[in-house]
Structure 1
């Protein structure tokens, strides 16, 4: 019997509540994709942009003063998952593009990622999105 072993790569990085954390989170995601052998993946820019949007939301809306947020990146050979953990209250929603002045970050995430959602965390929440890899892409 041919048994496949599922490997999961996970990288975590904590950031303070500061605007400089957004480009730092984006650079971390780009480094992680390169480390996983996905630097040339055509959806890498989408992952990077979604990390920026979720990190921005955490800094602006989700992180109480004096706290930070956790960026978690996972890769299992089938998909790349981005999670932003913060201790803020509230549930993020996609803004209406014609009616709302702000809030277009989740609109971008919903357009670029294959799926996204919000999970519970105590305290706070986890906002996540996932990107499917081409079939047969091995964990490196």
Structure 2
């Protein structure tokens, strides 16, 4: 089992590349190299959704990683109760494809409400057993 790791990000555009960098650093520390591009793309899409669509105007959100039994789980926690939905954007649309990508690149994803407020959008990836090397964050 990989020790769960969480980091908080301010709800600003710069948080998207910061979240990607955080996830990449954790994966490197854990010795997880497979599917990194898929994982990082999904992290970007989920973090972007929080930055663009969190109607609560929460000041921050959290990204959490955990892994066990060959499954890597990424969670994005935010203060909004609004559930994201997969859209069908038109060919000329420049937005609306994020969850389509998450759905295609991951081995599963979903949304769970959190008490007393907010939600977790999670995505999972089947991976080989990682080395389990961890760093304190």
TM-score tier (shorter)? 0.7 to 0.9
Which residue of 2 is the match for residue 79 of structure 1?
71
Tell me if 1:111 matches 2:104. yes
State whether residues 9 and 76 of structure 1, in contact with CA within 8 Å, keep that contact through their aligned partners in structure 2: no
Q: Higher relative CO (CA 8 A, sep ≥ 6), structure 1 or 2?
A: 2
Unpaired stretches in structure 1, ≥5 consecutive residues: 1-6
Q: Distance in 1 between matches of 2:31 and 2:69?
A: 11
What TM-score comes out, normalization by structure 1 length?
0.85
Asked which structure has the greater CA Rg, the reply is 1
**Corresponding residue for residue 125 of structure 2:** 131
Structure 1: which 4+ aligned runs deviate by more than 6 Å?
none
Instruction: Note the aligned Cα RMSD (angstroms).
Output: 1.8
Q: CA deviation at 1:65?
A: 2.5
Look up the match of 1:49: 41
Asked if 2 retains the 8 angstrom alpha-carbon contact of 1:87 and 1:125, the reply is: yes
